[in-house]
Homo-oligomer: A and B are copies of this chain.
Amino acid sequence: MASSTGPVLGPGLLVSVNRTSGVALNEQIESSIRDAVRAGQLAPGARLPSSRALASELGISRGVVSEAYGQLAAEGYLQSRQGAPVTVARRVSSPAPPAPTLPLLPTYAYDFHPGMPDLDGFPRDRWLRSVRAAIQRAPGSAMGHGDPRGQPELREALSDYLGRVRGTASDPEQTVMRSGFRDALALLCRWLAGRGVEQVAIEEPGAHAHRLIVEQAGMSVVPVPVDGHGLRVDALARSGASAVIVTPAHQFPTGCVLATERRAALIAWAEDEGRLIIEDDMDGELRYDGARPGALQGLAPERVVYIGSASKRLLPGLRLGWMQLPSWLTWPLVSAVTVDGGGPGAISQLALQDFITRGELDRHLRRMRQRYARRRDTLLDALAHHVPDAALSAGAGAGAAGLYEVAYLPADTDDTGWITRAGERGVGVHGLSLHHFGSPTRKGFILGFAGLSEPAIEQGIRLLAASRTRARASN
């Protein structure tokens, strides 16, 4: 019997078949043999039983085994020549043993992540209603490859919305949908790098992500200081950069608004030598103090790329972002997108269009503003009570807005040690130093309040305070 000259391939060992699994018998045999080759149980050159012998062992017809052998020979796992026994063709380099499955990000019982909205606030039923409308009504043209900029209906609705609530000068023809803010900024940075731009100015302190994306595109960053009125445009002018990333409506992390005269100076800088302003409007609608700082883009649509996303307004997991482009930049970027693909799916885009058009986004933001304002108050009260030496505002420009607050700490605070100890107690906080590129000028925490309930905020800050080791007391 052939099986005596090679490894035993029979029921219970390497090949088994299950008549009730719904998978064809030949496919079952193929999978078993592939797996055995990959696992090294069948070495190169090893002889397999004849199709007659294996069929008899398994109690199935010989044709099924022959078909499986033929398939595996075609795929390159087995060798089969007229009159010669079937053998294993080659060693398959089996994948390295799988690494232990670790979550890529730590999880905390009390996660004060500054970028996280309230995930429980996502109106699943209302979103489902919009998705249903999108699936039912989507035209065939939307279901194919479609316009590389995104669905026309959505670009229209979004331009109207942004013009209304953010004061942008929007044109649906110059709107491009991407999979979130990072995806949009990365696309733009690749284009800039391809045009020979070597340096992009960023705010100092500023969003760590801006720096990572610029650098991944092969450019370097020039940090430009921020004060209580926003970006120091005088320092920008001395930097030599030809593009800058700014957060005019709500500076990250200091929270200030770019002052009126700074806006004019920034636009003059851009218009002076055809420079580019990249506006990150991450949370422009989320203000709780009645102020409504508009988008910079409306003042100079040919010099500003406006980028926003649904992440903080609705849900990060939707991966929906948008760019409003100057007319001269639209076609170069659309060409790049036409080649590289990407961007969000048509159904998600049409769902967002329905969600905006039916007023659901406005309603959702109204609900969230009320909820976030309460959570912010809870955070400030808890800090005042448990961390009384924390100072709570960067300067004149910071107001009640966004998803986080900065708590500035005395200069002799051991902030990094404190963050580590808080993490051990299940409290996740970001240090201000993460978003400084040079030496941090002030110490502090950036505390997201939006994703936590009021009792969780109170308890989290209590635990945070309890994790402190006072530098002076321990001396």
Interface of A toward B, CB cutoff 8 Å: 23, 27, 30-31, 34, 38, 71, 73-77, 89-90, 92-96, 98-99, 101, 103-105, 115-116, 119-120, 122, 124, 127-128, 131-132, 135-136, 138, 140, 142-149, 163-164, 167, 169, 171, 173-174, 178-183, 186, 190, 194, 209, 212-213, 216, 218, 257, 260, 263-264, 267, 271, 291-294, 296, 298-303, 311, 315-320, 326-328, 334, 336, 338-348
Contact = CB atoms under 8 A, between A and B. Distances in A.
B340 A318 contact: no
10 contacts: A34-B167, A74-B291, A75-B294, A76-B260, A90-B267, A93-B271, A93-B302, A116-B144, A128-B132, A216-B340
Given A341-B180, A346-B317, A92 B260 contact: no
Contacts of A346: 317-319
A260 B340 CA distance: 32
Contact of A345 (B120, B138, B218, B318): B318
Given A179-B179, A294-B71, A213 B299 contact: no
A413 B327 CA distance: 42
B336 A216 contact: yes
Contacts of A294: 71, 74-75
Nearest to A346: B317
Contact of A92 (B128, B149, B300, B334): B300
B213 A71 contact: no
Contact of A317 (B105, B127, B186, B345): B345
A91 to B, nearest CB: 10
